[in-house]
Amino acid sequence: MGSVIDAPKVADANKDADGNLLSDKKLTVVFVLGGPGSGKGTQCANIVEHYGFTHLSAGDLLRAEIKSGSENGTMIENMIKEGKIVPSEVTIKLLQKAMLDGGNDRFLIDGFPRNEENRAAFENVTKIEPEFVLFFECSEEEMERRLLNRNQGRADDNIETIRKRFKVFVESSIPVVEHYDARGKVRKIDAGRPVEEVFEAVKGIFSPFSSN
Ligand SMILES: Nc1ncnc2c1ncn2[C@@H]1O[C@H](COP(=O)(O)OP(=O)(O)O)[C@@H](O)[C@H]1O
Ligand SMILES: O=c1ccn([C@@H]2O[C@H](COP(=O)(O)OP(=O)(O)O)[C@@H](O)[C@H]2O)c(=O)[nH]1
Ligand SMILES: [Mg+2]
């Protein structure tokens, strides 16, 4: 019974004010994946500046949800502190809303999908397939160094949580990259280099988007 009642709600959540479905809008969505500290947020800011994408960081949306005092806030806060993946429905609802509010037709979705369940649920609910997956490859040694120097006051940038996040990344997020790799959709970047060098490589991938 729950699924019968919930179905229209899901469909509504996917419509903008004019009743258009997200999936009807011919959106360009790029998933930006890579381990914690690989430079996803840093490079997304560069891409936004040069290629007119709107940047949606799933982690930022979840942290904003905690701050907003939502009923899910405490649950999200506890999961982030433990480096665990927040239930798909929570993250997807935030992403859908941000896309509908975004007023753009091209989005970088940073740090999502983090596991196969995230991926399948997003596809099922939004009917959106990513154009491609930008994957930042970086050693754990380098990522650990970056995270311990990030200085953004994040509750999860401590060595204990960082180790848990690395484990979750290998066990749950790498299979998502493998899923898209098997479909020829992964664009892999060596992210262990200085920011400018990484962006040079990113530019090579985004050049088709530079004209409009
Ligand atoms: N290529 C790079 N070389 C050195 N430091 C970097 C590089 N890219 C990002 N950083 C720094 O590393 C930290 C993590 O970067 P961030 O973009 O937040 O990564 P992510 O979003 O993947 O966790 C930040 O302090 C950032 O300034
Ligand atoms: O789709 C997502 C994105 C993030 N997170 C949680 O938010 C944390 C921080 O994610 P973020 O992408 O901000 O971290 P980063 O990879 O940039 O260090 C993760 O460890 C997870 O606990 C999540 O559950 N689902
Ligand atoms: Mg980030």
103 is an annotated ligand-binding site residue: no
Q: How far apart are CA 22 and CA 27, in angstroms?
A: 8
- The response to whether residue 37 sits with its C-beta less than 6 Å from ligand 2 reads yes
pTM of the model: 0.93
**How far is the centre of ligand 1, averaged over its atoms, from the C-alpha of 143 (Å)?**
8
| pLDDT tens-digit profile, the chain (212 residues) | 333 434 344 445 566 666 666 666 689 999 999 999 999 999 999 999 999 999 999 999 999 999 999 999 999 999 999 999 999 999 999 999 999 998 999 999 999 999 999 999 999 999 999 999 999 999 999 999 999 999 999 999 999 999 999 999 999 999 999 999 999 999 999 999 999 999 999 999 999 998 65
